[in-house]
Structure formats: structure tokens, C-alpha cells
Amino acid sequence: MDGEDDISNPHMEEMCANGIGGVEDAPSSSTSTTERKNRPIISGEQLDIEAYTGLYSGRTKITRLIFIANHCDSTSMQLEALRIAYDELKKGENTQLFREVVQKIDGRLGPNYSMDAAWCATVDGKAEQKKEKLESELNAYRTNLIKESIRMGYNDFGDFYYAHGALGDAFKSYARTRDYCTTSKHIIQMCLSAILVSIEMCQFTHVTSYVSKAEQTPEALDPPTTSKLHCAAGLAHLEAKKYKLAARKFLEVGPELGNSYSEVIAPQDVATYGGLCALASFDRTELKNKVIDNINFRNFLELVPEVRELINDFYSSHYASCLEYLGNLKSNLMLDIHIHDHVETLYDQIRSKALIQYTHPFVSVDMRMMADAFKTSVAGLEKELESLIAENQIQARIDSHNKILYARHADQRNATFQRVLQTGNEFDLDVRAMLLRANLLKHEYNLRASRKI
């Protein structure tokens, strides 16, 4: 569709500019498939922070920069992230966060990035004046009892508190507008504002609640808003470690999202979060039908070629290549504010699924060949298989001396005997029930009981 192309192509160019699947990595017509699969992937140390944070806007841009500064090992990356955060904060009104960033910089960026007390005093002074004005206006609206004006007054207060970093007060102000909403659009606006603040506060139970409230007014939901709600619900499920539910929500996000939710999430994140959660939780059929053959989600995957390739490799049983992509992406994912806590769990689940899928079709598997396919040692592979067998995820036994994994097939004779025995028991119960009914009819039990009544 033309509309989808208009949305996806600019993001692709943006990602290329970021060095995440850049133009230099694009294969020429003469490049072989093997060379294309083995192209170098940008690691976390080479991340272009300025281009990466250019995908976001508002408070999340600054919090992501601070997160990178707190979690990356490279001093140059830390300072670059703090420098950009400093510049962004000077454009806004959040003096509290500004002071925190200045404290983290600690004079390492020179006099141009030191504490600007005069700027803070000016911003705080204007904030007090603006707050007094908003209070007087809201009091006047309450006196006049005009619902729309009161709603707008609380909404303005929410915007004011949010801009100055008082997230708790912002959430309360947005929530208060609910009593004064007169149309479905007002309810949707209230829900989106509450969701935005709740995500910033990491209060994901509120996110789930307000997503449900918004979805109860479907007549006011346009495709971009629906996609925003799916993104918010996906983040809430991800935080709760409900990876399958998170994957389903991210897969439902439509191409209409574009860059319209940059204050929370970028389209590239939809592909990454949705793809990894799907790999960790979907079976082979679901992966094919809901991810690989999903035209809408394919547009998002085009923005992050590494995630697209590792999903295709996993489905095609090219596990070594898939795990290599995952390894190369790990450093970047550990710098992501939403998924960093889940990387180890997701990676373990994906690897376990790969091991299970590899062994499933075979009666016996040479563990040396399997270790080579997974780029690991035989001893390490043996420990992983032992764990999966203990958890009953693989029905097999290990010949540790010959390094062979044998599938443990069920005893067909015993299984047949158990089925026959169960069928006989069921037949016996049916016959007893039939005889009981026949005796009841013979002695006219039902008729006698009705006569007594």
C-alpha cells in the first residue's frame, strides 16, 4: 500500500543514518547470501547516541539518555549522552532533572556544561507565576461550573506539572479531568495523558487500567490512537514478563503509528520488542502466521534488519546465525530503558526453544555436531540439555560417554494397554449407568415421585 510505504521508508532512511543497518552494510547485487548474513552489526560501543535519541521526543528522550549514561561502560558514550541531555533540558522547564544531569557531568564537559543557577532561578520564577495564574483560572472555572473549562483547567495543570517533572501531581490532574469529560474524545485524551505519565513513573498497572478504559470507547478510536494503545499495553505486559501477551500487542500495532508516539516508543522498538517476545513465546506455527507472514509487522521489521534476519534464521533452523545476531544485538538492548531487565530471560527462552526444536525430529543426535551448530562446547551443551531434560522439556536421555542424545520414545505396548484399560473402565461405567436408568423406569420411580407431589 502506498500509505504504508510513505510511513515506513522515512524510518528506514533514519535507521540507516543511525548506523543500525546502514547503507554501507546494504549488499550489492553481486554480494552472496552468506556475505549478507555475516555483515557486521553495530555494537553498543559504536552506537550513535545522537541519532538514536533523535527517534524520541519529550521526557522519554532525556530519560533514555540518562539511562544510557548510567549503564554504558564507555566514558565517551556517557559524556555524549549527558551532553545531549543537558542541551535538551535547557530547551524545557524541568530544573530538577537539569540539576541531576549537571551533577552527573561533574565538570567533565567544561564550563559550557556547568550549573546555570541564573537559568534555573528564571525558570522556577516563571513557573511560580504560571502556577498562580492556572490556579486563579481554575478557581474561576469552578465558580462558573462550566465543565469544559474545568476539564481544560485540570488538563493545563497536568501539562504544567509534567513539564516540570512533578509526575505524581501531573497524573492526579489528568485523572481529575475524567469527571468533566463530556465526549468520547475527551476520555481518550485523558487516558492517553494518564498512560504517558504512568509509563514515565513505571506504574504499569495504571497503564493497563487506562488502556482498558480507552478501549471501552471504540467509537472515538482512530487507527493511530489504537496503535498507541497497543504499544502501551505491550509495554505493560513486557514489564509484567507476560511475553506472549506483549508480543501479540506489538504485532497488532498498525503502520499508522509512524512517529506519532515518539514521546513513548519508536517504530524500531515495536519491531525489536515484538520480535524478541514472539521468538521467546510463540510456537513454530504462530511464528510463521503471526510474525513472518504479518504484512503490517513486516514494515516494522524492515526498520531493524537484524531482528528480521534472526527471526527468519530461527524459523529456518539456522540457529548459529540466529544466536550470533542475538549476541551482537545484546549490547544495544542492555542500553534500552524498557527491555534491558528482560534480555537475559528472553535470550535464555529463545536458546532453549532452539535446542528443543533442533532435537525434536531425531531419534538420536550427535552432541558434537549439535555443539558445533550452536557454537558452544560439548560440555556446555550437555549441561543445557540436562537442564531441559530435568524440566521435562526434552524427552530424551544422554549417553555421556559417546556424547549422543537419544530420544526417549513412549512404550507403545504399555500405552496401548493403558488405553484399552481406560476404555474398559469407561464402558463399565456406562453399562452401570444404563442398568440404573432401566431399573428406575422398570419400577416407575419417577412416576411415583410425581404422584406424591
- Expressed as residue numbers, the domain containing 103 is 41-115
Distance, in Å, from the CA atom of 184 to the CA atom of 190, rounded to the nearest integer, reads: 10
Three-class DSSP category at 366: strand
Whether 390 is covered by a domain: the verdict is: yes
Whether 377 is covered by a domain: the verdict is: yes
pLDDT by residue (tens digit) across 57-89?
Answer: 989 999 999 999 998 888 888 899 999 999 999
Whether 251 is covered by a domain: the verdict is: no
Please provide residue 246's backbone torsions phi and psi, each rounded to the nearest 5 degrees. Answer: -65, -45
Last residue of a domain, one of 59, 87, 115: 115
Whether 87 is covered by a domain: the verdict is: yes
pLDDT band at 229 (very low <50, low <70, confident <90, very high): very high
Are 424 and 403 contained in the same domain?
Answer: no
Distance, in Å, from the CA atom of 33 to the CA atom of 139, rounded to the nearest integer, reads: 68
> Burial of 363 by CB count in 10 Å (0-12 exposed, 13-18 middle, 19+ buried)?
exposed
Distance, in Å, from the CA atom of 78 to the CA atom of 111, rounded to the nearest integer, reads: 18
Whether 3 is covered by a domain: the verdict is: no
Whether 380 is covered by a domain: the verdict is: yes
Distance, in Å, from the CA atom of 377 to the CA atom of 122, rounded to the nearest integer, reads: 62
Distance, in Å, from the CA atom of 313 to the CA atom of 25, rounded to the nearest integer, reads: 18
The structural domain count of the chain equals: 3
Whether 394 is covered by a domain: the verdict is: yes
Summarize the confidence of residues 425-440 as an average pLDDT. Answer: 90
Last residue of a domain, one of 115, 136, 153: 115
Are 51 and 82 contained in the same domain?
Answer: yes
Are 72 and 99 contained in the same domain?
Answer: yes
What pTM value is reported for the model? 0.75
Question: Under a CB-based contact definition with an 8 Å cutoff, are residues 104 and 69 in contact?
Answer: yes
Whether 316 is covered by a domain: the verdict is: no
Distance, in Å, from the CA atom of 123 to the CA atom of 112, rounded to the nearest integer, reads: 19
Are 81 and 106 contained in the same domain?
Answer: yes
- Alpha helices by DSSP H, listed for 316-391, are 319-333, 343-359, 367-373, 378-390
pLDDT by residue (tens digit) across 73-131?
Answer: 888 888 999 999 999 999 988 999 999 999 999 888 888 888 989 999 999 999 999 99
